[in-house]
A and B are shown apart, each in its own frame.
Chain A
Amino acid sequence: MKSVIAENLVKTYDKGTVRALDDLSLDVEEGTVLSVLGPNGAGKTTTVRILSTLMRPDSGNAQVAGIDVIKHPDKVREVIGLSGQYAAVDEILTGYDNLVMFGELYHLGKKQSVIRANELLERFSLTEAAKRPIKTYSGGMRRRLDLAASLIVKPKVLFLDEPTTGLDPRGRQEMWEVIQELVKGGVTLLLTTQYLEEADQLADEIAVIDTGKVIARGTSDALKKQVGGERLEVVVEQAHVAKTIEIVAAVSGQKPALDEGLRLISAPVSTGSAALFEVLKSLDTAGIHALDVGLKRPSLDDVFLSLTGHVAEEKSA
């Protein structure tokens, strides 16, 4: 069953001059993680805002957990959790105050709200900081608290809009662990990110979007295959470069590329580790010692570049 369905969503801003979503369609199977991957301005946040009832599309349909988002936004709000790009918690209040308040707004009642707040604080390693105002929290702690706030009533569908944007590597790692835990618990998750690595780490399926459209979708593996298979790479001493090119060419059947500075010879291969083994054997027979050798699978960066003709990120953060 599909937990999220978006059909032909169109959304324009500034009186139609900016087309944020241009006939975007996607769906998420129940209990799986879909990562919506794209650069800034691709339409990721707009998609999440429409699916989480914050915004209405100009045209198109959307359903979340079988409920029509446009006709019954109030019912959708009862079954979703949303954690946005900014940690949307009250900075002046403490972590505990925030969670209790949100619990009460979910109509749990005071007593249940307190119990739930304490559970979540414990689960997200925030118990020690519970009675401190949020403004004293680190970026990672804020995001964890924001995520906790979106889980007060176990949501059927969770939306995370760029959950690690702006976090340092450690904060990102912590966030990934928390999200992986959630995924194990079986939540349906739609996650947007501009980090290719994040989509690769967390998602069952990836929808690549650019200029308001889904331009490719599939598993991380399938997308990488779409770009091309693996490449074999060998680094050798300068004296052996010519001979090595011959060997790699024989195995690959294609003319290898040479990076002269790195003395790196590479060529596409279709047989994976068998090709690697063959090359190593031939090098050994020729008496050549490889300084480095390996199979490189295309990264999602390569995927993005080949799909859109431009890179996803200015620089990898």
Chain B
Amino acid sequence: MPLVENAKIVEDRYVRVDDDAPIPERVPVIVSAKRFLAEADALIRRDGSLGVAWPNDRRVAELQPWLGHLALVALNFPKFRDGRAYSQARLLREQYGFGGTLRATGDVLRDQFSFLVRAGFDSFDVKKPADARAFAQSVERYSVFYQPGADGRAPALQRRVQKSRAVKPGKAV
């Protein structure tokens, strides 16, 4: 499963550690939510980037107190059609201010890329190599968006208001 970041296929720096395996030192690791919550105090004191794989049926609000210690949160799409992690991503980015890496994992296909980017993901564990290669092209497909998202691009309504103001400057001072 190729990993895409910054629109390019990259090596994964992170190691996924099983719940019963020892945690390697000074290596970026991703642990399960269960393990993270059980060993959080020790894990955040450890030397090395820490990521957590968070399931899509658990409130991300639980992660809020720890977000400052996390370099990565991996959210899961068990099936293409199961879109819970889009909401989790936007909550993490927009309400809890998570600034680390937000990785999409699971059934991640080409036709989700644009939605994923707009929901705040910046790391993509892509299922098919051909889709990973088509990443840049896929996310450039749309130039107009009707709603604000976590990617910060201005929606059509805001652009319309700006355009009207530029054409008809207000009367105020």
**Chains A and B come from one and the same complex:** no
Interface residues of B (CB under 8 A from A): none
